Structure 1
Amino acid sequence: MVKIAFIGAGSHTFTLTLVRDILSFPELRDSTLCLMDIDAERLDRIDTATRLLVDDHDLPTTVDATTDRRAALTGADYVITTIHVGGVEPVENEIEIPQRYGINQSVGDTLGPGGVFRAMRTIPTMLDIARDMEALCPDALLLQHTNPMAMVCWAIEAETEIDTCGICHSIVGTAHDIADYVDVEFEELDYWVAGINHMAWFLQLEHDGDDLYPDLKAAREDPEIYAQDVVRFETMDHFGHFITESSHHLSEYLPYFRHDQTEIDRLVDASAYGTDRDEFEYSPVCWLPTGEYFDQWRTIDHAAQFDPESMDTSLSRSEEYAARIVHSLETGVNRRMNLNVSNDGRLITNLPDDAEVEVPCHIDGTGIHPCSVGTLPPQLAALNRTNVNVQSLAVKAARERDETSLRRAIKLDPLTAAVCTLAEIDDMVDDLLEANAAYLPALT
């Protein structure tokens, strides 16, 4: 029996997905699932939902729920983090204040001014969790889902002795997209992917031993297929490889696509979403964030959305990795998946030694074993480094509470630098520091 602690369990849909995944494996059904969140109402809903799953299948699983983080961590074998620090207000500020300066982020949770400021308010809490783990469950593995993924994992690796891997579904999601584009079964794809989180590259893409890149390039010429993934196809055209994460996310990590409204309009009109522009712009992942989305987010009645009487209690397994990692470590079943781990100067040789990279890893009963990728094609490593530069200084800013590093991180952001002068960036940072002061550590 293992104890799995969920920190930030109030993320109802995501937590319930991971719980289903765990319970879908017979070997993990005698686990203790300890659900922890600081929001007692959200915690009660996920506790109720988890117990419905367990009871409906008459499983031997133990379910605990607590608002006490240290109680949840005590004696844990695995810790899953899905936290969000600060609620709606800081996110809204991190999108809308940069927008006043012409920086139109699509999500703002991974890079850019939004990603850097999210790191500043998230990393201190994540370090507190990791330090509690050092005291209460030092041998536990931290399965880390919280964004900004690379920055959070980088800080934990640098500051603590906790074994950590960052988990993201963007690679398997992209593989499904590619399978659709080239009309092959997902299970028949063979791929080798490496880079950084949300900017990893399909270095090899095969089906039955044949290179699929010619097929993908041919599919790109179909207007309906191209419209589904405009930015990723255009990036492939110019740099030679298909990249992970959606076109909407990718557009904010590079300087080419969101630097002025004319280009944004071109991409929206070229995309499948151009046919329903209003719906697209209200989406949480959008070309031009609007106040309407935040108004909608603030007024969601989460309690009304959860109906125990009609809840699906099936144990269907998602594509998420966390349960598969636990299952492999506990049973010895060998699996390969891409995880975010420290580069250590050996996995991708032309990225910085201390960077957080996303590389193939083998998992079995002896542990997680990252694969050495070697050298990325130079143009791909160069694009990765533009993002790693920001991550490095943002992590330094969060670890040292250093305002100068914070400002330099944002000045190095590719999209920000394509839009703003240095003086404008300082003015924007001033505005963000003032607006989100309640959610940030004191800076020096």
Structure 2
Amino acid sequence: MAVITFLGAGSVVFTRELLADILSFPELREVTLHLHDIDPERLATAEAIARRTAAQLGADPRIKTSLDRRTALAGADYVINSIQVGMYAATVTDFEIPAKYGLRQTIGDTIGVGGIFRALRTFPVLQGIADDMREICPDAWLLNYTNPMAMNIGYLAAVAPDLKAVGLCHSVYWTVRGLCEVIGEPFDGVSYRAAGLNHQAWLLHWRKNGEDLYPRLRQAVATDPELRRRVRVDMFRSLGYYPTETSEHSSEYVPWYLHHDEEVARLRIPVGDYVRISRENVEEYERVRDELAAGHDLEIERDATEYAPQVIHSIETGTMRRIHANVRNTGLITNLPRDYAVEVPCVVDEQGVRPEFVGDLPLQCAAVNQNFASVGELTVRAAVTGDPRLVRLAAQVDPNAAASLRVDAIWALCDELTAAHGDLLAPALRTPTTR
């Protein structure tokens, strides 16, 4: 029976959802679960969640826990990565320091200065995970949920191209579900295909019973003024293809919105929203921990939308599925950078996750993606070469930062974030630098 290792198992709400989906499959009810976290209290809570979930579902997994990552990786067939290096305190830093300079962010975990420094905190740990997996479980699948997704998969492609690493994100799925609701069309039976970068892929194909559903969306947008007060809808009206991440997220990936007060108001952009979300996640963790300690049952909702359980089930049983996943660009999208991470349709079965060829994206979509990819490529190169100037250049070419701040302010901001994050960054990147 499969061995599934959870790295960052202390992300308890996320762990609970994945476990519920995994253990609901009859073929996976007796898997071995290895739970790992560096925080003893969170690891104990994750174990309690796993045992309570199994009991409530009538499943019989073998559950082990370890504070040592190498121990947790022993025998793994699948490694689910959901770590957050620096936790809530680092997230607050990523918002408070840029805000001092007048830089607005909404989520700050994908590109922008928040995404850059989240990546730089994560890369050293990813390097350790890759090294350990190569030695301990070289044939295991690394199923990554940790953001910034594209930068993390791009980094793994650079430092561990032999690792079977796949980035999983449900933004494409939920985008299509949401659009079906907008036009009043049931989701069942809809066919769709998206491609691009994670959090900025494009819905290229959206049909039902042979009907292209895009004209119905255009009609809905034309007749609903409130619908036009969404960043994604605004981008769709210009670019002709719908982006696959939420409006608040999408606003910080482009230079068009966040530095204009009028646009922030018109499009109802929640500046700084991720600090609130992160605080609520901490509160949710504490609530679940306390309820488990009091002997209460968990609220288990299985909606089978998360990809990791589907991937594991497909590989173990040969059940074929199609998903959208993040992989190394080996020529899959021909007008985006080769070897960086792209999000493309994939077939999953007993042979594993097999990405499908896309070819050229529409030129305007590729142009917007290229700005996004340039930030990630420079960030990855900074980490691989140990060049701190490339960190500043990544921030300098970031669309939102470039539209909002002078160059000297961007470099000063990076110096201050570098000092604030300290030893969470690789030693070579901790050195202040000048232009």
Which bracket does the TM-score occupy, shorter chain normalised? over 0.9
Structure 1 residue 398: Cα displacement: 1.7
- Equivalent residue number for residue 21 of structure 2: 21
Give distance in 1, aligned partners of 2:102 and 2:42.
36
SS at match of 1:368: strand
Deviations 1:220-260 (A, max 9, x none): 13437606x61111101001011101000000000001013
Structure 1 residue 290: Cα displacement: 9.2
* Paired AA for residue 178 in structure 2: D
Structure 1 residue 263: Cα displacement: 2.1
Structure 1 residue 102: Cα displacement: 2.0
Give distance in 2, aligned partners of 1:83 and 1:189.
34
Q: 1:30 to 1:117 in 2, by over 3 A?
A: same
Larger deviation: 180-189 or 330-339?
Answer: 180-189
State yes or no: 1:338 paired with 2:333: no
SS at match of 1:351: coil
Instruction: Confirm or deny: 8 A CA contact 1:337 1:362 kept in the other structure.
Output: yes
- Equivalent residue number for residue 302 of structure 1: 285
SS at match of 2:253: coil
- Equivalent residue number for residue 307 of structure 2: 321
Deviations 1:385-404 (A, max 9, x none): 00000000001112222101
- Equivalent residue number for residue 240 of structure 1: 240
Instruction: Confirm or deny: 8 A CA contact 2:17 2:300 kept in the other structure.
Output: no
Give distance in 2, aligned partners of 1:138 and 1:343.
21
Deviations 1:398-424 (A, max 9, x none): 222210111110001000110111111
SS at match of 1:193: strand
* Paired AA for residue 134 in structure 2: E
Deviations 1:340-385 (A, max 9, x none): 00111x2110011112000000011112211101111100000000
SS at match of 2:34: strand
Give distance in 1, aligned partners of 2:416 and 2:300.
48
State yes or no: 1:52 paired with 2:52: yes
Larger deviation: 95-104 or 211-220?
Answer: 95-104
| 1:275-294 map, 5 Å | 286-289=270-273, 293=276
Give distance in 2, aligned partners of 1:427 and 1:324.
45
SS at match of 1:204: strand
SS at match of 2:166: strand
- Equivalent residue number for residue 266 of structure 1: 266
| 1:160-309 map, 5 Å | 160=160, 161-223=162-224, 226=227, 230-268=230-268, 286-289=270-273, 293=276, 296=279, 300=283, 302-306=285-289, 307-308=291-292, 309=295
SS at match of 1:186: coil
Instruction: Confirm or deny: 8 A CA contact 2:106 2:274 kept in the other structure.
Output: no
Larger deviation: 151-160 or 73-82?
Answer: 151-160
Give the alignment's Cα RMSD to 1 decimal: 1.9
Structure 1 residue 298: Cα displacement: 9.8
- Equivalent residue number for residue 125 of structure 1: 125
Give distance in 1, aligned partners of 2:281 and 2:190.
41
Give distance in 2, aligned partners of 1:383 and 1:133.
35
Instruction: Confirm or deny: 8 A CA contact 1:106 1:252 kept in the other structure.
Output: yes
Give distance in 2, aligned partners of 1:4 and 1:206.
36
Instruction: Confirm or deny: 8 A CA contact 2:322 2:346 kept in the other structure.
Output: yes
Q: 1:311 aligns with which of 297, 308, 315?
A: 297
Larger deviation: 257-266 or 134-143?
Answer: 257-266
- What is the aligned-residue identity percentage? 39
- Equivalent residue number for residue 35 of structure 1: 35
- Equivalent residue number for residue 12 of structure 2: 12
SS at match of 1:443: helix
Q: 1:436 aligns with which of 397, 421, 435?
A: 421
| 1:66-215 map, 5 Å | 66-160=66-160, 161-215=162-216
- Equivalent residue number for residue 277 of structure 1: none
Structure 1 residue 299: Cα displacement: 7.4
Instruction: Confirm or deny: 8 A CA contact 1:88 1:294 kept in the other structure.
Output: no
SS at match of 2:59: coil
Instruction: Confirm or deny: 8 A CA contact 2:157 2:340 kept in the other structure.
Output: no
Give distance in 2, aligned partners of 1:290 and 1:250.
13
* Paired AA for residue 317 in structure 2: T
SS at match of 2:427: coil
Q: 1:101 to 1:262 in 2, by over 3 A?
A: farther
Deviations 1:46-71 (A, max 9, x none): 21121112223432311111111111
* Paired AA for residue 248 in structure 1: E
Give distance in 2, aligned partners of 1:87 and 1:77.
27
Structure 1 residue 303: Cα displacement: 3.3
Give distance in 2, aligned partners of 1:334 and 1:298.
34
SS at match of 1:200: strand
SS at match of 1:333: coil
Where in structure 1 do 4 or more consecutive aligned residues deviate above 6 Å?
none
Deviations 1:13-61 (A, max 9, x none): 1011111111111111121011111111111112112111222343231
Q: 1:353 aligns with which of 338, 356, 378?
A: 338
